């Protein structure tokens, strides 16, 4: 049965929502999804998400629920926990976080008091909001110290060490939302040990690469690992918190502190349909073919980066070690690239670059990744094609310059978006993209 044939009740009872689900399904099938924080869940994961498990309340943990009738829910959650522990090589896993940001905030609740000092990578330098960025609650309730990348785009480890020694943080985050090189977990572990801090590795983007053997694991060096489950783990939208052997050695009660932080401090009942879908995704990640896929994701990203450089573009750090590429487009031109590529059938996102000269709303770069195109079965030759299309779009938008005034920008972008819908070159690329997508269907 095709994935589009699974909605007979919805089609009958709510044709409006059915129509838009079908439209989104078609969009995903006929365009190239390159946003690196997105992935494509398997039909089995999607089936679990749409199950009757959504009907059940299950506050608490297996064997310790506040409602009756949870004997089968307990078994599902225990399977998810055991699979997570096996994949990451850790002694403890909490699979109840609703997503990555709640998982990260639970770490704060478990370890810190309001006003305690934390360190994280600055958002414009590729970090995540929840690592203490000024727009996040994590900087409102905690004293946040931000570290940066160097001019070459690599993490500035001497700065990290100097800031840690100066500010004595209780918690240091390593992990990012737009960093293309392998994370130096061992070095961060040493720095955290030097100042007596907890080290939390946020692996949201790379957890699938870690369990697939395509990226170093933080387990020997960090005390806590957090991750989403819907990026390279190829699961549903959700999160997990893992405690390592090192973490339990530092604090034998760390696991129970994490449990209490999730429930009752931050969340109510877990989403049981989500837990089951996470368990399915983790089961898929345990299969040998997942390792093959994870390594191909990295090879594809590297091939895509090479194609962009051949097309005249500049990519941050000159390459990538993971699933992601960050490309420079010129001051404020990320928005032009994102919208023009969208018109051409290629979806990615505008993004800040190191030492960003503009605001995050009009950044100078674009961020892209290869998980979904790799799921479709594409390899290096297809990455060359995709890279050449992106480079063609880059040249097509080179004439556009972002005005300085806010009102001028609004009108300029409106005119730009109107023009690109009629651009023959972009429409030609869209046709080529569509043909490639038909050759490599997302859900055969």
Mind telling me the catalytic residues? Answer: 57, 59, 202, 228, 231, 237
Which of 49-88 are b and which e, b meaning 16 or more Cβ less than 10 Å from the residue's Cβ? beeebeebebbbbbeebeeeebeebbebbebbbebbbebb
Residue 27, C-beta contacts closer than 8 angstroms, at least 6 positions apart? none
Which has the closest alpha carbon to 32: 432, 316, 312?
432
- Give the angle subtended at the CA of 360 by the CAs of 357 and 365, to the nearest 5°: 65
Phi, then psi, of 356 in degrees rounded to 5: -50, 125
Do the Cβ atoms of 312 and 361 come closer than 8 Å?
no
Closest to 323 in 3D by CA, of 204, 429, 196:
204
The rounded distance, in Å, linking the Cα atoms of 233 and 179 is 18
Q: Give the Cα-Cα-Cα angle 386, 412, 410 (nearest 5 degrees).
A: 105
- Which residues are bridge partners to 174 per DSSP? 201
Contact 101, 130 (CB under 8 A): yes
346 phi-psi bin (left φ>0, alpha ψ -120 to 50, beta other): beta
Report the alpha-carbon distance of residue 182 to residue 322 in Å, rounded. Answer: 7
Number of H helices, E strands in the chain: 18, 15
Both tokens assigned to 387: 């890279």
The dihedrals phi and psi of 148, each to the nearest 5 degrees, come to -135, 180
Say if residues 210 and 217 touch (Cβ distance below 8 Å). Answer: yes
Instruction: Identify the CA nearest to 322 among candidates 198, 183, 139, 184.
Output: 183
First to last CA, the chain: 10
Structure tokens at 231: 């990026």
């Amino acid at each position: 049965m095709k994935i589009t044939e699974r909605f007979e009740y919805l089609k009958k009872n709510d044709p409006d929502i059915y129509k838009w689900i079908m439209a989104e399904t078609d969009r995903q099938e006929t365009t190239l999804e390159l946003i690196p924080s997105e992935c494509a869940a398997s039909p089995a994961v999607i089936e679990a998400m749409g199950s009757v498990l959504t009907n059940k309340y299950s506050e608490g943990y297996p064997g310790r629920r506040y409602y009756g009738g949870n004997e089968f829910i307990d078994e599902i959650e225990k399977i998810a926990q055991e699979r997570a522990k096996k994949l990451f090589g850790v002694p403890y896993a909490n699979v109840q976080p609703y997503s990555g940001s709640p998982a990260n905030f639970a770490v704060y609740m478990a370890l810190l008091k309001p006003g305690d000092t934390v360190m994280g990578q600055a958002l414009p330098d590729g970090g995540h909001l929840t690592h203490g960025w000024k727009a996040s609650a994590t900087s409102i309730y905690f004293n946040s110290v931000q570290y940066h990348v160097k001019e070459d785009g690599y993490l500035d480890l001497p700065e990290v060490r100097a800031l840690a020694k100066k500010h004595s943080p209780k918690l240091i985050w390593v992990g990012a939302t737009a960093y293309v090189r392998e994370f130096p977990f061992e070095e961060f572990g040493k720095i955290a040990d030097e100042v007596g801090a907890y080290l939390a590795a946020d692996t949201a983007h790379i957890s699938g690469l870690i369990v697939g053997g395509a990226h170093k694991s933080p387990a020997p060096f960090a005390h806590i690992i957090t991750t989403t489950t819907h990026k390279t783990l190829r699961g549903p939208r959700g999160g997990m918190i893992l405690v390592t052997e090192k973490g339990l050695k530092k604090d034998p009660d760390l696991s129970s502190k994490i449990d209490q932080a999730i429930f009752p401090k931050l969340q109510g009942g877990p989403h049981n349909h989500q837990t089951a879908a996470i368990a399915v995704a983790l089961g898929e990640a345990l299969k040998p073919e997942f390792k093959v896929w994870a390594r191909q994701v990295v090879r594809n990203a590297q091939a895509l980066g090479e194609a962009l450089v051949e097309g005249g573009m500049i990519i941050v750090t000159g390459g990538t070690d993971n699933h992601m590429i960050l490309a420079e487009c010129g001051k404020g031109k990320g928005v032009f690239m994102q919208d023009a590529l969208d018109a051409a059938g290629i979806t990615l996102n505008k993004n800040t670059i190191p030492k960003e000269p503009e605001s995050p709303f009009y950044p100078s770069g674009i961020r892209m990744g290869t998980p979904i195109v790799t799921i479709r079965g594409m390899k290096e030759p297809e990455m060359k094609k995709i890279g050449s299309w992106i480079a063609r779009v880059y040249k097509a938008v080179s004439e556009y310059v972002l005005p300085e005034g806010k009102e001028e920008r609004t009108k300029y972008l409106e005119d730009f978006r109107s023009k690109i819908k009629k651009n023959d070159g972009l429409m030609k690329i869209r046709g080529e993209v569509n043909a490639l997508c038909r050759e490599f269907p997302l859900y055969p």
